[in-house]
Each structure stands twice: as C-alpha cells, then as structure tokens.
C-alpha cells in the first residue's frame, strides 16, 4: 500500500486498528459503534463550523462584520453558543402536550443522523453499504415530517401549529420532484446502491451525471427541492419570523432548540451529500491527475461548496409567497422532473450524441412554457384584499 | 431461530392486527379512525403475504402482491381522507353516525 | 420465535391498540404511525428490505402525515387539544366482536402446522424490477395501478378542493 493510499484509507485503517483490541465476538458491534461515533462527531463539528460560516457570510452580504468577539475573528463563537444553549433554562409551556413536546426533537435528530449511514464519504468509507441505499435515504428522510408535526402540535401554540402545517405541506410537495430527480440517476446506473452510483461516475468530471442533459436539470431540480426540504431561504415560510415568530420552534428553548437547529443543518448537509453522490461524482476527483488528494477531502470540499451556496442564496433571495411555493412544486418542478425521466431513458437507450439535441430542445421548450404559465398564474380568489393594512 | 414458530407468530400477529382494525371500524365513530382501522387490516394482510413468502413459498408472487397492495392502499387512503374533508365541509362533522343515508 | 420478533410484534400490537382506543385523534394518528413504522421493521426483519422501506416511505412519510393533516383540517383550531367524545359502550361492543373474530382466527392459526421451513429467500432489487416489468401479468397490473393512482390523485383533488363559491371574494 502506497502512502497516498494509506492517507486515503486512514479512517478505515484507524477503525480496524481500534477494533483489533476487542474480542472477536464484539468486533462487529464495536466497528458499528465507531462508525456511528465518527459520523456524529464529524458532522456535529461541521454543523458548528457552518453556523459560524453562515453568520460570517450573511454579515458580509449585509455589510456588517458578523460575530467577532469570541476568540480570534470570532472563531470560537459556536463554542460559546453551545455553552449558552446547554445552560439555558428548558421551558415547557403549561398546556403543552408534555410527551410530544419532549419527543419531537429526539424524533427529529435520530433520522437526521441515520441518513448519513448510506452516504459514501470516501473510497470504502461508508457506514453501511446497502443495496437500497438511495431508497433508505429517502424513506428515513420522510419520517422527519412527523417529528415536525409533533413539535408544532405538542407546543399548544397557534403559531407553532401553523408553522408545522406549512412545513409539512412544503416538505411533502417538494419530496415528489426530489425523488423523481433521483430516479433519473437510478435509471442510468440501474442501481440503488450509493457506492455503485459513485463508481459509475469514475474517470473525470465529464463522467459525472451533472454533465449530461438530464443530469444537469435533475441536479437543479434536486437542489431547489433540497432548499425547500431543509426549510431554508427562500423557502423558509415555516419559520417566517414576521408572520409566525419562529414556526414550530417558537416554544422551544435551551438544548431542545439547539437540537432542532442542529437537525436543520444536518438535513441540509445530508441532502447536499446526496446531491454530490448522485450527480457530482461523490468522492471522485474531477481530473484523474488529482487522484493523489484523498477521496474524503474531495467529498468534504464539494460539501463545503454546497454549504456556501446555501448561505449565499439565503443572503440573496427574498422569501416566496405560499401560493408561489406550491405552484413552483406542482406546476413547474414536477412536470419537468417527469419529462426528465423520459429523457434519461432516451439517453440510456440511445447512448450517444443524438440524445443531446432532443433533450435540449424538449427541456428548453418545457422550461420556457411552464415558466410562462407560472408567471401568469395568480393566487386563487381574485385580487388580494389587505383588510388590516389599509 | 425456529422458522416454523415465527411463521405461526406472524400469522397470529396479523390476525390480532386485523382484529384491532375491526375494533376501529365497529367501535369508533370518527371517520378518520375508521380509515386508520382499514389501513391496519390491509397491513395485516400484507404481513401474511410477506410471512408466507419468507417461510413457505419463496416464489416472488407474494412479494409482487404485497407491493401492489401497498400501492393500492396508498391510493385508498388518499381518496378516503379527501372524502372525509369533503364530508366535513358539508356537515361540519366527521362522525359516522351523523352521515345521512345516500338516498336522502 | 425469536426475541426481536416478539419485541416488534409487541410494539405493533400495542401501538395499534393505542391508535384505536385513545380519545385524542392526534394521538391516535401518531400511534398509528408508530405501528406502521414497526410493521416496516418487521418486513426488514423478514428479509423483505424493499417492501420495508416502501412501507416506511408510503405509510410513515405519506399516509400517517395525511391522516394527521385531515385530523387538523376537520375541526376548529381552538378545540385542538380537546378530546373527541366516543360512545364507550358502543366501543366495547365493537371491541368484543372484533376481538372474538381476531382471537378465533389467531387460535386456529396457533395450531396450524406450518409447512417445512425453508431457507430465507433472496430477492434483490434488480430482480424485483425485472419481475415488475418483464412478466405480462405484472406489467398489466403495474399499468392498472398507475392509472388507479392517477385517478385517485385527481379524484382526491376534486373532492377536497373547495367549491368555487366558497373562495370567491374570500381572498382576505
């Protein structure tokens, strides 16, 4: 094994070394525990880093310095935030449904961490290689909706309930085009195994799925849906602070609030990781010459790009209206995703340049046509009347 | 693990789950709970298919049937709940015993 | 019978019973979701991985959420935490009938001589896909189910959408 390979496989070798101290009977269990601990440790610290990056980045966009008091350049701000969250009083509303109020953050954080088990973060670096990896990811991700409902309903607060209803309606609507966008990749690689999907994109950036006509559109659809699924701006209607205070988070404080906050970032990073795995070559280097850089560094580098993109969009775009949100999902993204599946099938069957012009023409027509339709649509019930504003 | 016993266990489990579904259909008056009961009964049937596929007849027909059963059950739930909402809009209630007969 | 099976079965039955007997409809819906989740786990335990994940996605991700949505939409918000009255004698009468039926079937099955135990069948996702699209019957069934789903989607939309006169002028 050369040095480059050794560095590439360092996490795995470290795990094997640690496991070798235990008796053979316990070894599989210890290996599992180590994988779980590594996922929790790595992604929780990434969460801390990305909160700092977000506050700094938004500060720059809004022409202010952002946090700069704790540590050099405010670098220790996440630590201070964490300590503050831990020692804050945990307030439960008097008429809240105590059990649901307590269970909601737990039921949210568990699936958010569980989905990382099928993301390959490097060559051979995957916690659980599974034949049905992509399906597992979406199936577990679907169960987070229930915990948001539990939070909203358990708080016994109208704003919480309205926020959670908005969140669920939005997540259900955007899940459809997201899964359909992922289906194109499944169609092209004829596999649901995330490791196989990454290996199918080996060789260089031109082999990545994002550089095919259907892949580019699917990646775009997937990314818009990822924004909506993680309730981030411009789709942060559930937490629209000017209307709903903080949506389902209103009645949470202290560490429970921190768990919700963490789940939001974990969800965002998990969906970005899935987008990288499906469309951007996962841990593959963009050029074969660059293979000496360890595979996991490529994965985390791409992930960092995605996080920065999320922050950038949050600082740039205004929030959508509720009817615009639903129209975008059902009247634009869903038809495009369906057409895209057909084009992916054409690409697989024709396997050549002929699919390019057909795809470009059809997708262009669809996007322009549906876009015009979307612009023309008005909210139901005619002109809006602002009863209290005048 | 004793396979034969687990098959019997699955069948008993599905019979009991079916019974619980029947409780909701017979005993509760909320239309939503009746629908939940129907979902339980469908689940019980699918458990039977999977159990027989796993332990007795590994011919993949059981699996196909289960997949279609789940698909149909999802459609049924969607239409059923839409009916409940339409019913609520007209009657302001979802209680089964307050629905007039269709001939009225 | 193994210990994991007993645990899963106990969770399924207990949460299903809670779902049909609790007074608060939201609690009923959440218990039903737990029961669906446990059923999915049972499928995973029985080697039917694809079915287990489909169960998770369809039942926990969609049907349970739909049920909870309907619960919220079909009653005034101020009453959200209050109990829905149920006629208790009627409930117990229904329960008696149902338990008799379920118990009778279960006791028959308890003495049922299961066929010879076979080794666990393996059915990969590729094979499931091939089975769904290759054999004539399955393709027909697939198309019929697809049509049914589309019809159900449109039908549900028409049923649940408010009539025109409800929304006219109600934009505020």
pLDDT tens digits for range A93-116: 888 788 888 888 888 999 998 899
Whether A271 and A229 have beta carbons less than 8 Å apart is answered as yes
Mean pLDDT over all residues of chain A?
Answer: 84
Q: What integer pLDDT is reported at residue A165 of this predicted model? A: 85
Q: For B7-93, CATH number?
A: 1.10.287.3510
Note the pTM of the prediction, 2 decimals: 0.86
Neighbours of chain B (3+ CB pairs under 8 A): C
Whether A62 and A233 have beta carbons less than 8 Å apart is answered as no
- Which range has the worst mean pLDDT, B12-26, C12-26, C89-103? C89-103
Q: Identify all chain B residues contacting C128, using CB atoms and an 8 Å cutoff.
A: 60, 63, 67
- The token pair at B64 is 């196909």
Q: What percent of chain C has pLDDT over 70?
A: 78
Cβ B81–C48 below 8 Å, yes or no? no
Q: What integer pLDDT is reported at residue C172 of this predicted model? A: 33
**Which 3 state secondary structure label does DSSP give B95?**
strand
Cβ A172–C81 below 8 Å, yes or no? no
* Peptide bond between residue A234 and the one before it cis (omega within 30 degrees of 0): yes
- The label of the residue with tokens 């609790």 reads C22
Interval C149-162 mean pLDDT: 85
Interval A299-326 mean pLDDT: 87
**Structural domain count of chain A:** 1
Q: What distance in Å separates the CA atoms of residue B55 and residue B50, rounded to the nearest whole number?
A: 9
A63 in reach of chain C (CB within 8 A): no
Q: Identify all chain A residues contacting C125, using CB atoms and an 8 Å cutoff.
A: 131-132, 192
Containing H/E element for B5? helix B3-27
> Where exactly are the structural domains of chain C?
1-82, 124-163
Q: What is the number of other CB atoms lying within 10 angstroms of the CB of residue A21?
A: 9
Q: Which residues pair with B95 in a beta bridge?
A: B30
- Whether C80 has a pLDDT exceeding 50, the answer reads no
C37 in reach of chain A (CB within 8 A): yes
> Which of A139, A168, A172 is nearest residue C53 as measured by Cβ atoms?
A139
Neighbours of chain C (3+ CB pairs under 8 A): A, B
Q: What percent of chain A has pLDDT over 70?
A: 95
Q: What integer pLDDT is reported at residue C82 of this predicted model? A: 43
Cβ A165–C69 below 8 Å, yes or no? yes
Q: Is residue A59 part of a domain?
A: no
Q: Identify all chain A residues contacting C170, using CB atoms and an 8 Å cutoff.
A: 381
> Which of C53, C68, C170 is nearest residue A136 as measured by Cβ atoms?
C53
Q: What is the number of other CB atoms lying within 10 angstroms of the CB of residue A290?
A: 11
C102 in reach of chain A (CB within 8 A): no
Cβ C77–A161 below 8 Å, yes or no? yes
- Whether C81 has a pLDDT exceeding 50, the answer reads no
Q: How far is B100 from chain C (nearest CA, A)?
A: 18
Cβ C156–B6 below 8 Å, yes or no? no
Q: What percent of chain C has pLDDT over 90?
A: 10
C86 in reach of chain A (CB within 8 A): no
Q: What percent of chain A has pLDDT over 90?
A: 8
Q: How far is B80 from chain C (nearest CA, A)?
A: 8
Q: What integer pLDDT is reported at residue C36 of this predicted model? A: 92
Considering the segment(s) C1-82 as one domain, its CATH architecture is Up-down Bundle (1.20)
pLDDT tens digits for range A1-44: 777 777 777 788 888 888 888 888 888 888 888 888 888 888 88
Q: How far is C30 from chain B (nearest CA, A)?
A: 11
- Whether C140 has a pLDDT exceeding 60, the answer reads yes
> Among residues 83-142 of chain A, which lie with CB inside 8 Å of chain C?
95, 97, 100, 130-132, 135-136, 138-140, 142
Q: How far is C164 from chain B (nearest CA, A)?
A: 13
Tell me the residue range of the domain where A313 lies: 96-374
- Which range has the worst mean pLDDT, A15-19, A201-205, A238-242, A337-341? A238-242
**Which 3 state secondary structure label does DSSP give C74?**
coil
Cβ C77–A131 below 8 Å, yes or no? no
pLDDT tens digits for range A42-95: 888 899 888 888 888 888 888 888 888 887 887 888 888 888 888 888 888 888
Q: What distance in Å separates the CA atoms of residue A375 and residue A390, rounded to the nearest whole number?
A: 27
- Tell me how far CA of residue A263 lies from CA of A48, A69, A111, A271, C85, in angstroms: 12, 26, 9, 12, 37
Interval A232-250 mean pLDDT: 75
pLDDT tens digits for range C28-60: 889 999 999 999 999 988 888 888 999 988 898
Q: What integer pLDDT is reported at residue A373 of this predicted model? A: 80
Whether B79 and C159 have beta carbons less than 8 Å apart is answered as yes
Q: What integer pLDDT is reported at residue A270 of this predicted model? A: 92
Measured CA angle at A106 (ends A104, A111), to 5 deg: 105
**Nearest residue in chain B measured CA to CA from C13:** B17
pLDDT tens digits for range A178-227: 999 999 998 888 888 888 888 888 877 888 888 888 888 899 999 999 98
Q: What is the ipTM of this complex?
A: 0.86
C83 in reach of chain A (CB within 8 A): no
Interface with chain C: mutation pick from A164, A190, A381, highest number of C CBs within 10 Å = A381
Q: Identify all chain B residues contacting C127, using CB atoms and an 8 Å cutoff.
A: 60
pLDDT tens digits for range C122-135: 777 888 888 888 77
Contact between chain B and chain A (3 or more Cβ pairs less than 8 Å apart): no
> Among residues 159-178 of chain A, which lie with CB inside 8 Å of chain C?
161, 165, 168-169, 172, 175
Cβ C61–A190 below 8 Å, yes or no? no
- Which range has the worst mean pLDDT, A123-137, A242-256, B89-103, C2-16? B89-103
Residue C12 — pLDDT band, cuts 50, 70, 90?
very high
Contact between chain C and chain A (3 or more Cβ pairs less than 8 Å apart): yes
Q: Is residue A294 part of a domain?
A: yes
Residue C110 — pLDDT band, cuts 50, 70, 90?
low
> Which of C53, C72, C172 is nearest residue A387 as measured by Cβ atoms?
C172
Mean pLDDT over all residues of chain C?
Answer: 78
Q: Identify all chain B residues contacting C120, using CB atoms and an 8 Å cutoff.
A: 54
C125 in reach of chain A (CB within 8 A): yes
Cβ C69–A146 below 8 Å, yes or no? no
Q: What distance in Å separates the CA atoms of residue A355 and residue A353, rounded to the nearest whole number?
A: 5
């Amino acid at each position: 094994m050369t040095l480059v390979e050794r560095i590439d496989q360092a996490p795995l070798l470290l795990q094997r070394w640690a496991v070798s101290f235990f008796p053979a009977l316990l070894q599989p269990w210890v290996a599992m525990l180590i994988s779980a601990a590594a996922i929790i440790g790595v992604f929780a610290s990434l969460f801390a880093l990305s909160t700092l990056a977000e506050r700094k980045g938004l500060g720059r966009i809004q022409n202010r310095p952002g946090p700069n008091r704790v540590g050099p350049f405010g670098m220790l701000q996440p630590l201070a935030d964490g300590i503050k969250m831990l020692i804050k009083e945990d307030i439960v509303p008097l008429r809240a449904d105590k059990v649901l109020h307590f269970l909601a953050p737990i039921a949210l954080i568990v699936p958010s961490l569980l989905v990382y088990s099928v993301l390959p973060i490097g060559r051979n670096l995957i916690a659980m290689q599974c034949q049905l990896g992509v399906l597992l990811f979406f199936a577990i991700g679907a169960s987070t909706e229930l915990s948001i409902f539990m939070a909203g309903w358990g708080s016994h607060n109208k704003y919480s309930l309205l926020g959670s209803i908005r969140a669920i309606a939005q997540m259900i609507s955007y899940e459809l085009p997201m899964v359909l966008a992922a289906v194109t990749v499944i169609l092209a690689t004829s596999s649901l195994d995330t490791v196989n999907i990454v290996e199918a994109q080996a060789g260089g950036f031109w082999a990545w799925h994002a550089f095919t006509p259907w892949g580019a559109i699917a990646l775009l659809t997937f990314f818009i849906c990822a924004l909506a699924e993680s309730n981030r701006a411009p789709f942060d209607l559930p937490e629209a602070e000017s209307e709903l205070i903080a949506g389902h988070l209103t009645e949470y404080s202290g560490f429970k609030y921190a768990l919700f906050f963490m789940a939001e970032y974990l969800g965002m990073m998990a969906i970005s990781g899935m987008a990288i795995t499906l469309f951007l070559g996962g841990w593959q280097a963009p050029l074969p010459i660059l293979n000496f850089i360890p595979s996991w560094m490529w994965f985390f580098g791409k992930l960092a790009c995605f996080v920065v993109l999320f922050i950038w969009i949050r600082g740039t775009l205004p929030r959508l209206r509720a009817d615009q949100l639903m129209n975008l999902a059902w009247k634009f993204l869903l038809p495009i995703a369906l057409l895209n599946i057909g084009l992916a099938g054409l690409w697989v069957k024709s396997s050549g340049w002929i699919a390019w012009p057909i795809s470009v023409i059809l997708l262009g027509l669809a996007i322009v046509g549906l876009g015009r339709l979307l612009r023309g649509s008005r909210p139901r019930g005619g002109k809006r009347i602002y009863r209290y504003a005048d | 693990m004793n396979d034969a016993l687990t098959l019997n266990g699955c069948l008993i489990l599905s019979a009991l789950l079916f019974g619980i579904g029947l409780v909701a259909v017979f005993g509760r008056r909320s239309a939503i709970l009746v629908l939940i009961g129907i979902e339980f009964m469908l689940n019980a049937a699918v458990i039977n298919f999977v159990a027989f596929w796993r332990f007795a007849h590994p011919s993949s027909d059981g699996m196909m049937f289960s997949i279609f059963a789940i698909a149909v059950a999802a459609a049924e739930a969607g239409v059923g709940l839409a009916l409940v909402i339409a019913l609520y809009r007209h009657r302001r209630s979802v209680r089964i015993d307050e629905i007039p007969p269709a001939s009225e | 019978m193994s210990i994991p099976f007993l645990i899963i079965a106990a969770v399924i039955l207990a949460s299903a019973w809670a779902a049909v007997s609790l007074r608060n409809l939201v609690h009923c819906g959440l218990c039903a979701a737990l029961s669906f989740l446990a059923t999915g786990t049972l499928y995973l335990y029985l080697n039917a991985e694809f079915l287990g994940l489909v169960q998770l996605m369809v039942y926990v991700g969609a049907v349970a959420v739909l049920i909870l949505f309907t619960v919220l939409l079909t009653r005034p918000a101020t009453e959200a935490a209050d109990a829905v009255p149920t006629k208790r004698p009627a409930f117990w009468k229904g329960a008696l009938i149902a338990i008799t039926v379920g118990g009778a079937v279960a006791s028959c099955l308890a003495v049922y001589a299961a066929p010879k135990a076979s080794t666990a069948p393996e059915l990969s996702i590729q094979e499931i896909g091939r089975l769904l699209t290759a054999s004539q019957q399955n393709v027909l069934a697939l198309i019929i189910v697809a049509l049914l789903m589309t019809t159900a989607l449109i039908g549900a939309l028409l049923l649940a959408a408010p009539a025109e006169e409800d929304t006219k002028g109600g934009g505020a």
